[in-house]
Structure 1
Amino acid sequence: MKRHRLPAPLLDAMLVGASLADVWVNVDTEERLAMACALLAAFALPLRRRLPLSTFLLTLPTAIVTDAVLATLAALYTLASLSRHRILLAGCALTFAISDFTPWPWSSVEVHELSDTSSLIHLSYGLATAAAPVFLGQLVQARRELSLRLAEISEAREHERLLTAQSVLATERAQLAREMHDVVAHQVSLIAVQAGALQMGTQDAETREVAATIRRLGVQTLEELRHMVSVLRASGSRPTELTPQPSLADLQRLVNGSGIEAELSTDLPDSLPPTVQRALYRTVQEALTNVRKHAPGATAAIRIHHEDGAVHAIVTNTAPARPALPLPSAHHGLIGLRQRAELLGGTIVFRPTAAGGYELRLELPIEDAR
C-alpha cells in the first residue's frame, strides 16, 4: 500500500504553527529576550532540512531562557534523522538537557540548588526528553536506508530476472538453430539433390524444366536457412540484418525463378525508399508462392506503377488448370504483408476475380515511407 506524505511546505507551516502555540502558552509577552529567542526558534524550523545543525543552534537559546522547547526538539529530531555522527548527536542531546535544566538567568543559580534530588530528577527528565527525538530520528534514518536497500535489491533481482530470460531465450534460439540445421536444412538438401538427379536423368523437356526449378528453389531456400541459422546462433551479439535485403532489381529474377508462367510490368525508378522496395518484393514473392501452392498451372501478371504519389502493385493469376495439392498453411504470409503495408501507411487487398482467379492489390504512399 502506497503511503501519502504531506507536502514539505505544508508540514513546515504546521510545525511553525505548533511552535508558535507553544510560545504563546509558555512565554510571557513582556519578556522581550525570551520572546525574541522563542520566535527565532519557531521561524528557523523551515531551514532544518537544508541546515539541520545550524537550525538546532538557532533554536537552542529558547531552551535556555524559556520553557517553549518544541522547536528545539523538532530541530534535534531532524538533525538525528539526517546525521550519521553519533558523537555530535550525543553532544547536542546533552547540550539541550543542560540548557533545559539550568535556570535562567544563570546569575541566580546557587550551588546547593544544583545538587539536590529534585534537580537530579529534573536533569534526568531533560536527558530523556533529549534522547527521545534523537532515537526517533535515528530510527527514521535507518528505516529510510532500509527502504533504499530493499529498492536496490528489487532492482538487482529484476535485472537478474531479465538476464535469466535472455539466457533462456538464447538457449531456445540455439536449439532452434540446431533443429533448423539438422532437420529442415537436411530435408531441403535432399529435395535439391533429388531434383538435380531427376533433371539429369530424365529425357522429357518439361520434366527437366520442373526439376531445374525445384533444384533452384531448394538451393535458394538452403541459402536463406543458413543465414537464418547464423542469425539465431548470434544470440546476444549486435543486431544483424535477417536477410540480404532485396530491391526492385531482384524482381525479374524472382519472377523467372518462380516456377510459373508470369509476366512482370513495371515503370518504377530504382530511387524508391528501401522499405518500399522491400515491401514490393515481398508482396510479389508471397503472391507468386500462393499461386504456385493454390493455383497449379495458372499464369500470373504483375503490374507495378506509380500514380498520384503512391506505388500500386497488382498481382493477378488465372484460374488453376488442375486441382491443388493439400499443403499446410497458417496464412502468416498474408498477415505479414498486411502488417508491413500498414506500417508504411499503405493498404493491401486480396480478392477473387470473376474468371476464377485471384487478385492482390498493394498501395504504398511514397512520401510516407521511410
Structure 2
Amino acid sequence: MSDVVGVHGHTEPRFDRVRDELAAQLAAGEEVGAAIAVDIDGDVVVDIWGGHRDAAQTLPWERDTIVNVWSTTKEITALSVLMLVERGLVDLHAPVATYWPEFAQNGKESIEVRHIMAHTSGVSGWEKPFTVADMYDWDTAIEHLARQAPWWEPGTASGYHAQDYGHLLGEIVRRVTGKHLKQFVADEIAGPLGADLQIGATPADDDRIAEIIPPPPLEIDVAALPTDSPMFKTFTGPVAEANAANTIPWRRADMGALNGHTNARALVRVMSAISRGGTVDGVNLLSDKTIDQILDEQARGVDLVLGVPLRWGIGYGLPEPATLSYIPDDRICFWGGWGGSMTVMFPRQKMTVSYVMNKMAPGIIGSDRSEAYARAILAAADE
C-alpha cells in the first residue's frame, strides 16, 4: 500500500513522483478514479490506482476495477491483426477484399489492410442514417461498411477511423480465423497472458466496471463543418455518446475501436509485447520484423478527421511533436482513448506505460493529466 492517502499499489522509489502526481490530481478533483502502470522489460515498476469508480464517489477504485478505455481498444485490435500477419495469415499489403470479398464494392477493391491499420482507407465512419445502437449489431454494421464508398482517395491521407476501426479489422480477423474479434482477444491474447482485458464486458464483470463520466462538449463545432467533409461525416456517422458506455448493450457489443474493458496493469502486460521484442513471459506474439512494420510511417500530416498533425505507423500512432510534445520523437508507438487514456510503447527502452481513468477530459488525443503522468514517468525513467 502507498503512504499517499487515496493512492494504492506500489512504485519503485524513483517513480514515487508518479504516485504523487496521481494523488495531486485526485485531490484537486481533476481525477475521480484512475490507474497507472509502467513495465520495464517485465519488471512492473509502477502499479497504482486510486479514487472512485462512480461519479457519486461512493465506491472505491479497487485493484481489479476495469473501465471502458475507448480508443485505447484500437491498440488491442491492431495487435490482433499483427498476430495474424506474424502467422502468415494476413498480408498488410494485400487488398482487404482478399479476405472479405464483399468489401470490394463501390470503389474499395484496391484498399489494402495497411490502409485500414493506418487510418488511410477513406472509410472512417458509416454513411448516415446510422446510430450507436447499429454498431452493436455486427452483421448490420459490416454490411453497411461493405456497401459504401470511400470518403477520400485511399492511401493519400489519414482520417481517423474513430468508431469503425474495430469492425473493419474485426471482420478481417473473423474471415481469417472464424472467430469474432472479442473471442480472438480472449483466446489468443488475454488468456495466454493472464491479462484482465477484453473487448466488451461480461455480466460477471458489471459490478467492477468504473462508471464513465462524460467530458465537456468537443471543441469542434461539428454543425459548422461542410457536410461532405470526412470530419463531419465521421463525427456524425454515428454521433458519439459518452454515456452509452455505461449501458449493458454497449458492454455486450463487439467494438474493437471503442469498448475495450481493462485496467492499466493489464494494458502494460499485453502491449509490452511490442516493447519487449514480441515475447511476454514465454508467450510469443510478434517478431522483431513485425514490430518494425508497426514503426513504418504510413501517413504524416493534418488528419482529415481530427484536424491536427498526426503520424501513423501500422496500427499505432508515431511521435508527432507538433501535437503531443511530451512523447519523445524516438522509436516509440502509442495510442490513447477519448478522455485521455493512453498506452505508450518504448521498444528501445523495453518500457510500456499505461494510464486509464473514468472522468473524461476535454479533447480526443491525450489530456493535461496524461501529459503530467507521462512527463513524471519519463523523468523518473531517465534517472
TM-score, with normalisation over the residues of structure 1?
A: 0.20
Greater strand share, 1 or 2? 2
TM-score, with normalisation over the residues of structure 2?
A: 0.19
Greater helix share, 1 or 2? 1
Which protein has the larger Cα radius of gyration, Structure 1 or Structure 2? 1
Structure of greater relative contact order (alpha carbons < 8 Å, 6+ residues apart): 2
